Amino acid sequence: MRLLVVEDDDAIAEPLVDGLRREGFEVARVATGAAALEAEIPDVVLLDLGLPDLDGNEVCRRLRATSDVPIIVITARSEEIDRVIGLELGADDYVVKPFGFRELVARIRAVTRRTQRPGDGAAPGPTGAASAAAAVALAGGRVEVDTRTRKVRVDGAEVPLTRKEFDLLALLLSDPGATLTRDEILRTVWDEHWYGPTKTLDVHVASLRKKLGDPTLIETVRGVGFRVRTDA
């Protein structure tokens, strides 16, 4: 598996790259945003937000505009988390400095587990039912979700979703109309070791509602979780 480490600080990058190579990853490292955008697209990008040339946010946005490579943002700014994982940037996950090496490796493995076989669609875990029905129509056909190709169309136009947004939608669609608890969603779409803020889920639901063009499609069940509104 090829990783691209985008980090300007040698004191962080060098031991990180060494450690990742010892874990068996193939690692390329660049120290600027410009170099990151020119690099060959890897399997996973580890992106420091504090870069000397371009803002890391901008790098993330541009990478996301041209590729759906999983991006794990490394930030020293915990107040940025909502922006990082939200609609604006489209990162798949993040770690806050200082972070544990094992934690980072676990997150790399988690994002790649979720994304290794894009043809499989759907969220991981016991929710594979979503991949059985490849195409699902919502909102009287205005919204079409293809869980096999992981594409979503709204009024006929394709709407790009981040991996997490798609996994979240696919999970809700695996049992249309049923309420999924916040815990269940966080454990399945993030992973069983998710210790981050549960607000993450609300940020993703909000961006998904916005992208689907119909905020009522995903209903909040107060104090419990979320469900997708079906027209059946």
Q: Quick check: 125 binds Ca ion (CB under 5 A)?
A: no
> 8, 82, 88, 214: which one contacts Ca ion (CB under 5 A)?
8
CA–CA distance, 159 with 193 (Å, rounded to integer): 30
DSSP code for 116: S
φ, ψ at 143 (rounded to 5°): -110, 125
The footprint of Ca ion on this chain (CB under 5 A) covers a number of residues equal to 4
Q: At what angle do helices 199-212 and 182-189 cross, to 10 degrees?
A: 80
* Burial category of 93 from C-beta neighbours within 10 Å (exposed 0-12, middle 13-18, buried 19 and up): buried
> Minimum distance from CB of 48 to Ca ion (Å)?
4
> Minimum distance from CB of 72 to Ca ion (Å)?
15
Between 45 and 172, CB nearer to Ca ion: 45
> Minimum distance from CB of 91 to Ca ion (Å)?
16
Give strand pairing partners of 153: 144, 158
Between 48 and 167, CB nearer to Ca ion: 48
Q: Quick check: 80 binds Ca ion (CB under 5 A)?
A: no
Residue pair 229/216 in contact by the 8 Å Cβ criterion:
yes
Nearest to 45, CA basis, from 15, 20, 80, 78: 20
> Minimum distance from CB of 10 to Ca ion (Å)?
10
How would DSSP label each residue in 18-29? HHHHHTT-EEEE
> 4, 13, 16, 48: which one contacts Ca ion (CB under 5 A)?
48
The residue type of 88 is: E
Q: Quick check: 167 binds Ca ion (CB under 5 A)?
A: no
Between 13 and 136, CB nearer to Ca ion: 13
Q: Quick check: 146 binds Ca ion (CB under 5 A)?
A: no
> Minimum distance from CB of 197 to Ca ion (Å)?
23
Between 77 and 113, CB nearer to Ca ion: 77
Residues that bind Ca ion (CB under 5 A): 8-9, 48, 50
